[in-house]
A and B are shown apart, each in its own frame.
Chain A
């Protein structure tokens, strides 16, 4: 018995000797059909989705930046207001009237 690897090698060696197929000529009308279809077809759906996703990402980034800009004062003054709230409106301080 031939070991399997050797059997495969002998088989492909024999297969390589098979004559190559006759060169293929373009079927009648094939080139015209393909060219017409290629130059008239709309962009594939995948491509449109990719573009849409990139635009959506841009819009999302812009919205995030605008959101931060619109609320910038809250970030900068927020801690001072919170402090004032806790010192002036502290329920325990009001009840005990320690201020």
Chain B
């Protein structure tokens, strides 16, 4: 979250509404690290992240009159960012079938490890695990990816996810359930195929 105390957000927003370009520039600079973190966590392939960040900021400025101040400004911006990421994921081409051969050596080892070893503790290669998670999630549709990322990776609560996505709590749970079921099928298929 950006440090809103050191930054006069209310004053900056008022100046932006009065078409002050310097204030708009300051606002972009202030929110950029926050926005780019959302972009990166939802678009692991890093496809033109700067372009996507630009889209998010332009949407933010276009809709600024709709911001009533009922929620913190960063929450409002994060919702725009998340929905823009979902739109981007929808626009991306569907991936081909997931195969062992597509994995890097350390990712394949990681997958072997989590599939085979029942009692061992969580594997150590965190980067490989993250890449593997990204590849597995990429097999799901955008909404399923989003809900599992927020729930399992970022460990957000149902309420937080509702606030971010605009989905109600029941919908979040249903989507998570369906997404896990798809992931379950994916793992089962991988176990069946084994490593060739």
Interface string of A20-33 (1 = CB under 8 A from B): 01011111001111
A24 adjacent to B126 (CB under 8 Å): no
Interface string of A35-52 (1 = CB under 8 A from B): 111110101100100000
Interface string of B25-47 (1 = CB under 8 A from A): 11111001100110010000000
Give chain B residues whose Cβ lies under 8 Å from the Cβ of A5: 180, 184
Report how far A89 CA is from B57 CA in the complex, Å: 75
- Does any Cβ of B come within 8 Å of A1's Cβ? yes
Question: Given the known A-B contacts A10-B114, A25-B33, are A18 and B126 also in contact in the complex, defined by CB atoms under 8 Å?
Answer: yes
Report how far A6 CA is from B118 CA in the complex, Å: 8
- Does any Cβ of A come within 8 Å of B110's Cβ? yes
Interface residue from A1, A11, A21, A43 paired with B129 (Cβ < 8 Å): A11
A44 adjacent to B21 (CB under 8 Å): no
Give chain A residues whose Cβ lies under 8 Å from the Cβ of B187: 4, 7-8
B21 adjacent to A14 (CB under 8 Å): no
- Interface SS majority for chain B: helix
B184 adjacent to A4 (CB under 8 Å): yes
Question: Given the known A-B contacts A8-B180, A39-B61, A44-B62, are A14 and B124 also in contact in the complex, defined by CB atoms under 8 Å?
Answer: yes
A30 adjacent to B32 (CB under 8 Å): yes
- Does any Cβ of A come within 8 Å of B132's Cβ? yes
B24 adjacent to A16 (CB under 8 Å): no
A31 adjacent to B36 (CB under 8 Å): no
- Does any Cβ of B come within 8 Å of A93's Cβ? no
Report how far A42 CA is from B191 CA in the complex, Å: 54
- Chain A: how many interface residues by the 8 Å CB criterion? 38
A11 adjacent to B132 (CB under 8 Å): yes
- Does any Cβ of A come within 8 Å of B123's Cβ? yes
Give chain B residues whose Cβ lies under 8 Å from the Cβ of A37: 54, 58
Give chain B residues whose Cβ lies under 8 Å from the Cβ of A98: none
Report how far A55 CA is from B152 CA in the complex, Å: 47
Report how far A26 CA is from B117 CA in the complex, Å: 43
A2 adjacent to B116 (CB under 8 Å): yes
Interface residues of B in 119-139 (CB under 8 A from A): 122-127, 129-130, 132-133, 136
17 pairs, A vs B, C-beta closer than 8 Å: A2-B115, A2-B117, A4-B191, A8-B184, A9-B152, A14-B122, A15-B129, A17-B122, A17-B129, A23-B33, A24-B36, A25-B33, A30-B28, A31-B26, A31-B28, A31-B29, A38-B57
Give B residues with C-beta under 8 Å from A: 19, 21-22, 24-29, 32-33, 36-37, 40, 50, 53-54, 57-58, 61-62, 110, 114-118, 122-127, 129-130, 132-133, 136, 152-153, 155, 180, 183-184, 186-188, 191
Give A residues with C-beta under 8 Å from B: 1-2, 4-19, 21, 23-27, 30-39, 41, 43-44, 47
Q: Which 6 A-B pairs have the closest CB atoms?
A: A4-B187, A38-B61, A14-B129, A35-B24, A18-B126, A17-B126
